[in-house]
Structure 1
Amino acid sequence: MLTVHHLGKSQSERIVWLCEELGIPYELKCYTRDAVTVLAPADYKALHEIGAAPVITDGELTLAESGAVVDYIIARYGDGRLALTSGHPDFAHYLYWFHFANGTLQAQLGRNMILNRLNLPADNPMLLATKARVDRSFDLIDARVRASRYLAGDEFTAADIMTGFSLTTMRYFMPYDLDRCPNIRDYLGRIAARPAYRRAMEKGDPGMALLLT
């Protein structure tokens, strides 16, 4: 049985959402962050050597890392759904945005979050440079979802699942004003309308306000 080990307010929400979109059977085990450190509890950290979300178990397999987990589930259980193949005209877009999520966007947000917590002067060059990179990333996404309904094109794919966390729940940790990105707000409205997304968030983080605007 595929088991998704979900840490509240974390990137593992991607995996719950993926399973709901695919409509596959899975077991969901939820873990609560430490009340003092706001980090994963000891029993979650013990699941995998990296000690971070997401983690899945599937029989004897234990697997971490969002992109790897998403690829694994799609390949093993997806029957070709939510991923584009090399013959699809939007294949390159799918690859780019799938990897942009953690390779660029999430990394920049994480770096910006840490720098902001250092209480650096507002004119600190590193802080300004990092914020500018985040702005460029949001501008790039805003332009993309102005031109197409979803990130890979008109078809919803795993690239949208990978990116959704950074545009929504991550803003609990690194606030970002979406007023400057009206097309992202419209895009998140399309995400919010997906029943699988709503089910996933209610199962994984019941009662949490969804940062969709």
Structure 2
Amino acid sequence: MIKVHHLEQSRSHRVLWMLEELGLDYELVCYKRDPDTWLAPPALRQVHPLGKSPVLQDGDLVLAESGAILDYLADRYDGQRLLSPEPMPAQAPERVRYRYWLHYAEGSAMPPLLMALVFGRVRSAPMPFFAKPIAKGIVDKVMKTFIGPQLRLHLGWMERELGEHPWFAGERFSAADIQMSFPVQAAAARAANMADYPKLQDFLRRVGERQAYQRAEARGGVLTMVGGKQ
């Protein structure tokens, strides 16, 4: 049976959601974050050397990285192509879009969101009183000149694309939308005024209404985007 090593409030929610969409049975092994550091527990290193989540075990296979896991599940178990494009030439537009968004989520969308989170923690971190104005000044400068513009650039790009198609890969829901859900949720929770992005708001509403999404939350916990690094 498939086994998912699932860290609370993390990217691994997407793997549970994918499995629920495909109707697959799986065993769930849950891990709690450190309440002070919000990091994953050392026990995850016994599963994968990096000690990160998600990790999928399927027979002898041990696979990390959410995008790689969703891609594997689509290739291995999505015989009816419910969540992935039909076999077609590599240059077919639907397949190109599908692959792009599957990789874009972590490769381009998440880095500025993670930087916003890290710099936000620096602003509120305990430090000598005389250092606080310096730290705040550095954080505000970086947010204003780099992180903020990058976030607006990426969110504007996603918004425009959802104005062209109802889903990220095209006309139908796919694993690319599952993968993209996390950065959009992170932006909505931490980094952006989503009133400026009605298409992204509608995307979050629609994915939250999917029964498979709700089943994943029932098993793995509601994703609230609180705490530290995901």
Asked if TM exceeds 0.5, the reply is yes
1:90 maps onto 2:91 in alignment:
no
Q: Which runs of 5+ in 2 are unaligned?
A: 124-135
Partner residue in 1 for 2:220: 204
For residue 20 of structure 1, report the CA deviation from its aligned partner.
Answer: 0.4
Which residue of structure 2 lines up, in the alignment, with residue 65 of structure 1? 65
Give the Å deviation of 1:69.
1.0
- Superposition misfits of 4+ residues, deviation over 4 angstroms: 169-172, 208-211
Q: Which has the higher helix share?
A: 2
Residues 5 and 28, structure 2, Cα contact 8 Å, conserved in 1: yes
Contact map agreement 1:112 1:127 (CA 8 A) in 2: no
1:140 corresponds to 2:141: no
Matched residue count:
209
Amino acid aligned to 1:116: G
Match of 2:202 in 1: 186
Cα deviation, residue 28, structure 1: 1.4
| Residue 122 (structure 2) aligns with | 118
RMSD: 2.1
Say if 1:123 and 1:5 are closer, same or farther in 2 by CA, change over 3 A: closer
For the pair shown, the structure with the greater C-alpha radius of gyration is: 2
Cα distance change, pair 36–125 in 1 and its aligned pair in 2 (3 A): closer
Residues 1:149 and 2:166 are matched in the alignment: yes
- Give the Å deviation of 1:141: 0.9
2:155 and 2:97 map into 1 onto residues whose CA distance is 17
**Equivalent residue letter for 1:24:** L
| Shift, 1:59, TM fit | 1.7
- Contact 2:11–2:182 (8 Å) recurs in 1: yes
Letter in 1 for 2:33: R
1:57-112: CA deviation from partner (whole Å, max 9, x where unpaired): 11222111111111111111121331224345412211211111011011221122
* Secondary structure, counterpart of 1:62 in structure 2: strand
Query: Is 1:116–1:127's contact at 8 Å kept on the other side of the alignment?
Result: no
CA gap of 1:126–1:187, structure 2 versus 1, over 3 A, is: closer
Q: Is the 8 A contact 1:20 1:197 kept in 2?
A: yes
Secondary structure at 1:53 match in 2: coil
Q: CA deviation at 1:126?
A: 6.2
Label 1:108 to 1:123 Cα distance change in 2 as closer, same or farther (>3 A): closer
Structure number with the bigger relative contact order (C-alpha 8 A, sep ≥ 6) is: 2
Equivalent runs, 1:36-51 vs 2, <5 Å:
36-51=36-51
The answer to whether the Cα contact below 8 Å between 1:10 and 1:169 also exists between their aligned partners in 2 is: no
- Once the two structures are TM-superposed, the CA of residue 205 in structure 1 deviates from its matched residue by 0.7
Using structure 1 for the length normalisation, give the TM-score: 0.89
- The aligned counterpart of 1:103 is 107
Q: Percent identity over the alignment?
A: 34
Aligned letter for 2:201?
Answer: R
